[in-house]
Amino acid sequence: MTMNCLDDLAKRVRFELDCVAYPAREWVAPRSRDGEAVLDVLIVGGGQNALSLAFRLLRERVTNIRVLDRSPAGEAGPWITYARMQTLRTPKHVSGPELGLPSLSIRAWYEAKFGAEAWAGIGKIPRQHWHDYLRWLQAMAGIDVTNDAAVTDIEPLADDLFAVHSVIAGKPERLLARHVVLATGIEGAGQWQVPAMIADALPRERYAHTSEPIDFAALNGQRVAVIGAGASAFDNAAMALEGGARAVDLFARRKSLPKVNPNRYIETTGYIRHFADLDDTLKWRFMRRYFALNQPPPQDTFERCARFDAFDLHLGSPLESVSFDDRSVRLGTPGGVFDYDFLIVGTGFVIDLSLRPELARFADKIARWSDRHQPPEGDESPTLGAYPYLSGAFQFTEKEPGTAPFLARLYCHSFGAMMSLGATAGISQLKFSTERIAFGITRQLFRDDAEAFIAGLDQYDEVELDISAFEARRAARAAKVA
């Protein structure tokens, strides 16, 4: 029954794709360099940002693309590895990767697989189902992802090309590409962050960041501390509690949890599409407020922890000291000193381009907000200043004009785009961000080939009008008269 519904939906998808395929003709001239084929676009990462962009490029008939992801096949993104919530945090009506095609939406997939009643009955989308949906969409859109393929180094070459150095299935490979998009995850413009006071004080087996694998079964009967007050901190606390931890204490710096979610406020076409069109002063003012607000954990995530007597919440509790005494992790806070067996670090990520190995050759040449914008006194923020200063098409820009022109062919499709384009890492921005990036890429591809395009008009010989039959009849008539 389910199979039939999914089969029917697959037919519908093909029909809808066919209906909107125009203009369907390939238009980008293939390139090579010393006999080596050149990709038009190489996308680093195979998560939802990469898939949505690849889908858009394919629909715009930019087909000479490649998507590389370092994770094993079918595991791209956080959904079945370190994401530990039961459902997405976003309301179920979110759309994005389907790029406006109803038959490719999460709802269409969900209803085909589980029935319309099931869809009506869920409040939010189960995490595993979101993952399965993305895999289905990838297949329907015909996107090839090469897994076990880590990009290690991006080398700008002459001729407006990049050599992208990767390790694919254990073997070093060099690929040539005209455009490179970094869709390397929410932390893709920096890295997950463990405060030095923790990393310096504790043995590695006594703590883990929320983005790492954690053996929750091994925490059965243990005392666990979690630091951070974001949704992931609560998800991990819940996993430890459900794994049978004896006590789980969550420590947060702030004195109260935020109750209002600014992410819901910004989910409008006006904001998502046009934040990029504001001037720098307005962008800075908005982001100062947005970042100060923070998001609360979802209600159900909070309840998932709160229902356990073993759970406690310590607000207004910044870590003042961290030590290890051969048995316990000891945390000092303004509220006292506490001992634990294990610490889960939910302190998110930092934006710092110098930490990205792929960018090591030229990270210092990339403009950050601190290079471009001087906020008024009292409004400074090193956090905001560290974000890359991107173009309206998500391209990196040069710190010093003329020193790294290749940056115009390198795109930042991650949370690093938040300051310049208001693009969160989330699902809701996908249809708008991919529109801008695809626009930037197709514009440049077309401009690069403008001469060939003009010359092509003279060679274009697809016959539309055939008057030979008429001419033959006329000749026959003339012959008769003669």
Ligand X SMILES: Cc1cc2nc3c(=O)[nH]c(=O)nc-3n(C[C@H](O)[C@H](O)[C@H](O)COP(=O)(O)OP(=O)(O)OC[C@H]3O[C@@H](n4cnc5c(N)ncnc54)[C@H](O)[C@@H]3O)c2cc1C
Closest approach, Cβ 58 to ligand X, in A, equals: 17
Looking at the Cβ atoms of 69 and 98, the one nearer to ligand X is: 69
Distance CA 277, CA 420 (A): 9
Looking at the Cβ atoms of 40 and 235, the one nearer to ligand X is: 235
**Torsion sign (Cα): 147, 148, 152, 155:** negative
Binding footprint of ligand X on the chain (CB under 6 A): 44-50, 68-71, 76-78, 83, 88-90, 149-151, 183-186, 232, 358, 414, 425-427
Looking at the Cβ atoms of 31 and 89, the one nearer to ligand X is: 89
Distance CA 416, CA 182 (A): 10
What phi and psi, each to the nearest 5 degrees, are found at residue 349? -135, 165
Per DSSP, what are the bridge partners of residue 253?
Answer: none
Residue nearest to ligand X (CB): 47
Closest approach, Cβ 429 to ligand X, in A, equals: 8
What phi and psi, each to the nearest 5 degrees, are found at residue 292? -70, -25
Looking at the Cβ atoms of 76 and 202, the one nearer to ligand X is: 76
Looking at the Cβ atoms of 397 and 433, the one nearer to ligand X is: 433
Looking at the Cβ atoms of 333 and 414, the one nearer to ligand X is: 414
Closest approach, Cβ 469 to ligand X, in A, equals: 56
Closest approach, Cβ 4 to ligand X, in A, equals: 30
Tokens linked to 145:
């992802």
Closest approach, Cβ 355 to ligand X, in A, equals: 12
Per DSSP, what are the bridge partners of residue 312?
Answer: 249
Looking at the Cβ atoms of 44 and 161, the one nearer to ligand X is: 44
Per DSSP, what are the bridge partners of residue 166?
Answer: 151, 173
Looking at the Cβ atoms of 248 and 359, the one nearer to ligand X is: 359
Distance CA 363, CA 440 (A): 21
> Which helix (H) or strand (E) covers residue 152, if one does?
strand 149-157
- Check residue 60 and give left, alpha or beta (phi > 0: left; psi -120 to 50: alpha): alpha
What phi and psi, each to the nearest 5 degrees, are found at residue 313? -120, 125
Closest approach, Cβ 219 to ligand X, in A, equals: 19
Looking at the Cβ atoms of 12 and 273, the one nearer to ligand X is: 273
Listed in sequence order, the residues at least 6 apart from 128 whose beta carbon sits closer than 8 Å to its beta carbon are 79, 80
Looking at the Cβ atoms of 232 and 317, the one nearer to ligand X is: 232
Closest approach, Cβ 470 to ligand X, in A, equals: 58
Closest approach, Cβ 400 to ligand X, in A, equals: 26
Tokens linked to 451:
């001469």
Tokens linked to 420:
């310049």
Closest approach, Cβ 349 to ligand X, in A, equals: 9
Distance CA 183, CA 47 (A): 7
Listed in sequence order, the residues at least 6 apart from 39 whose beta carbon sits closer than 8 Å to its beta carbon are 64, 65, 66, 175, 176, 177, 178
CB contact at 8 A, 353 and 363: yes
- One DSSP character per residue, 115-145 reads -HHHHHH-SEEEHHHHHHHHHHHHHHHT--E
CB contact at 8 A, 119 and 107: yes
Closest approach, Cβ 384 to ligand X, in A, equals: 19
